[in-house]
A and B are shown apart, each in its own frame.
Chain A
Amino acid sequence: MTRVAVLRMEGTNNEQDMHRAFAEAGGDPAYVHIKQLTDRVPETQQVDLLDYDVLALPGGFSAGDYVRAGAIFAARLEAQAGEALQAFHEDERPIVGVCNGFQVLVELGLLPGDDGDEAAEPEAALTMNASDHYECRPSLLEASETNCPFLEPYEGEDAVVFPSAHAEGRLELPRVEDLDELADRGQVAFRYTGPEGSSEYPWNPNGSPGDVAALTDPTGTVLGIMPHPDRAVHAWQHPDWTRGRDPEARGDGLALFEAIVDHAGGA
């Protein structure tokens, strides 16, 4: 069974959504506190990250979003579990970050992860929404042509609905042309779209250039996504569940977690 470490620390608040999503997808999730990756807890509580097949970084406000969203979580991971994380990544085991988890992956330099330099400086930023406030609304997402194997169920399919709930989701890259290069390499995973195909605000909730909602790394095994597939696992989590959806049916996000579990299980 695919073992999933749902990593938490002070201020994460979506670990239960993430845990349930992986459980519904047939995985074997476990909560792991970041301190359990260190020797600062009793030996019986220590955890080896490499005992897991998938690392999941949930949403929330880790460390109160102090300094920048995700920066302190990233710094602690780097300082206290950097080697294990690097080995996990080099082994191409799936690493998925949702919302604040995506911000952590960007701060870690794992996304977009182009320069081959694992740990050093971030190569992008997820910064304040263009609206200058927290955006909480359903987002319509279209899968891009991507190298990320977890998106296979979505490729060529209709747009899906995942809820957005973030204040810092606007992607900034060092150069304007970097976005096209990322897309050419298949590193743009999902883009915001709208019901008529127009992604104007509020359909693109944060003003990200190219309507980028999710990125993957060059290997396709690291995925960061701003909206929450973990909050769209059941049809009853969708805003239109009383209007035509069978509430007991699958939500749009479940296939993503199934694909991650399958990929890790088969790896």
Chain B
Amino acid sequence: MFLAEVQVGFKEGVADPEGANTQKALHLLGFDEVEAVRSAKTFQLEVDADDADGARQRVEEMCTQLLANPVVNTYDIEVTER
């Protein structure tokens, strides 16, 4: 069994109102050192596969078919054996 952690974020140049709004709120709370906030969503998938490469390949397909929209999203996949 493998654990695939998928982080789906926004591509550079795509507006991220949630990130911008969060940064604004952090500044209001006095965290002036925050220079940028990017929002992202994480999915943790338990995947049955023969090896890590096989698991990663399938998760890539899941990203292109559902978890991410390639027009606006980037995704990072981390696979670990459990």
A residues engaging B (CB < 8 A)? 67-68, 71-72, 75, 107, 121-125, 127-132, 170, 172-174, 207
Contacts and interface: CB of A to CB of B under 8 A. Distances in A.
Q: Which 6 A-B pairs have the closest CB atoms?
A: A132-B17, A125-B72, A132-B21, A125-B71, A125-B69, A128-B17
Q: Give chain B's interface residue range (CB within 8 Å of chain A).
A: 10 to 19
B60 to A, nearest CB: 13
Of B18, B67, B69, the most chain A CB neighbours within 10 A belong to B69
Interface string B13-50: 01111101100000000000000000000000000000
B77 to A, nearest CB: 16
A82 B69 CA distance: 19
A181 B39 CA distance: 30
Contacts of B64: 121
A170 B18 CA distance: 13
Given A75-B65, A121-B64, A130 B17 contact: yes
B69 A71 contact: yes
Contacts of B70: 121-122
A43 to B, nearest CB: 30
A128 B75 CA distance: 18
Nearest to B39: A128
Contacts of A67: 66-67
Contacts, number: 45
Interface of B: 14-18, 20-21, 64-67, 69-72
For A75, A121, A128, the residue with the greatest tally of chain B CB atoms inside 10 Å of its CB is A128
Contacts of A132: 17-18, 20-21
A123 B71 contact: yes
A129 B18 CA distance: 10
Given A67-B66, A75-B66, A121-B64, A128 B71 contact: no
19 contacts: A67-B66, A67-B67, A71-B66, A72-B66, A75-B65, A121-B69, A121-B70, A122-B69, A122-B70, A122-B71, A124-B71, A127-B14, A132-B18, A132-B20, A132-B21, A170-B15, A172-B15, A172-B71, A174-B71
Contacts of A128: 15-18
Contacts of B69: 68, 71, 107, 121-122, 125, 127
B24 to A, nearest CB: 10
Given A67-B66, A130-B17, A132-B17, 19 more contacts: A68-B69, A71-B66, A71-B69, A75-B65, A121-B64, A121-B69, A121-B70, A122-B70, A123-B71, A125-B69, A127-B72, A128-B17, A130-B15, A131-B17, A132-B18, A132-B20, A172-B14, A172-B15, A172-B71
A67 B70 CA distance: 13
A30 to B, nearest CB: 29
Nearest to A176: B13
